[in-house]
Structure 1
Amino acid sequence: MRGRTMGRWIKDQKERRKHEVRTHIAQLHAAVSVAGLAAAVAALTATSATSVNSNSNNKEETWCSKALASAASLVASHCIELAEDMGAEHEQILAVVNSATITRTNGDIMTLTAAAATALRGAATLRSRLQNGFATLALGDENNDEGKELNVLAALNFVFKGGQLLKLTRKGDLHWKQVSFKVNAKWQVVAKLKSKHIAGTFTKKKKYVVSGVYVEWPGRETDEDRQYFGIETSERIIHFECITKEEKHKWIEGLQHMLNCRANMARFS
């Protein structure tokens, strides 16, 4: 009995160390996500301050915009330093910050906020389990919970960056579109479609508010040789075709998470 007790204790300690590593990785990812969000806010406030300085004669307004930009820059710098202190690679932080600072709209900020909130929530869940006595929990459950959080982040990033999809036109033709999905200031999921015409000299853009996602084209029989899905918008159902099953899964998973995130965050707005 003593040997079994000691063996169980040793096993529990090993599992706890594994969970500590997972928790640290989740906290590190959350810190990098928040750093990216802070950098995006700092970039937008700096741009806004420049615009105010050049267009306003109100000294108080100019001073306020400069102070806000300076504060945002300080917060972003601190978040980046914190992520580095936690062990994040410089290249990793640089890539996230560079990607975040190209944001231009409120929707971009909302999407980054949703991703950062998900990362923080995942890290908090793992930390809570560790503090409340992880040794009593099943390893399978912990792996499942952590995997879900990481999958959510990857899916959100995938649909936020977007990619090339074949879109079915009203006439039944398939045309290539650059597609991405974001959350706007009203917490709505918005699909952005872009297509180039006349050898790339003219770009056509279209936006749709998304209310649902279909794993197949509604009203069409399943075709094993083709991968397609649909989105429900306020105007109509839009049909897309993918190249591979893996790509289709990423689009659907990311959209479902974004719609769920929108529903959850809308309750607090």
Structure 2
Amino acid sequence: MFWQLNVGQMKALLRGYFLDNVSITGSRRRRRRDEVRLHSAQAHAAVSVAQLAAAIAGVVSACDLRGDKKLGAVLASAAALVATVCAEAAESAGANRPRVTSAVKTGLESRSPAELLTLTATAATCLRGAAALKLRAADVRGISTGANANANAMAMSISASIQKGIALRVCLPCGKVRVRTVSVFPRRGGGAVALRLGTKRLRGAFATYDDHELLGVSTGGGGEAVVDGRRCFAVALSTSAGTVQLLLEDQTHCKVWKAAIEGMLSDANLKHY
């Protein structure tokens, strides 16, 4: 018996073979890339916490606690121990020693409330960003199954639309609530994340856009609220123009937006190192 295979069948077989192999290879490459990003984010978060701990240790050692030198010495010793453990944890997470040493030195030199507040906000942002990347990596590996499948698919769809732009109700820094086309994306060259607010003109004939540097996700907002008599879930963003609140009608959408933005901020912080 002789096999007769026409050109169409041959093309179909080859197409299936190459697509399957390319798909597997691409999936492995993406998974490896996500693992590297997660590892870097965790190391960066550990370094940020170590820097904050060193700053606290430095401030405590320099403070005079109402003349109680014994209590001051005990607190300084305890703070120094915490800072040492955090520095060792940062090295265990993958940060090299010179980087950890530099961060600890910078932390020890921090004295003003503004510097401590900045270090605290940076550490919190890095920790949330690492947690968001870890959750996304878990979803890619297929850990979330069953009832979470639809939620994960919706989360991926929303994450893709965040950078493209979507119409949302927004509470502007002036306090007015308006509908804007909202997108959040990393700026070219890295190192910063932008919030773009678009306004439609002449019934949608054209639109104008305002870009603001995104500084972080504010911890003071971001919960359930009632605005103009409508129940919503707010994501409060700290920007160069002030605080902007994104008003979403679904709690899952709110969580996805918040996680995606924190992930972008974490990636931007990583590019400084």
**Larger relative helix fraction:** 1
- Pick the structure with greater CA Rg: 2
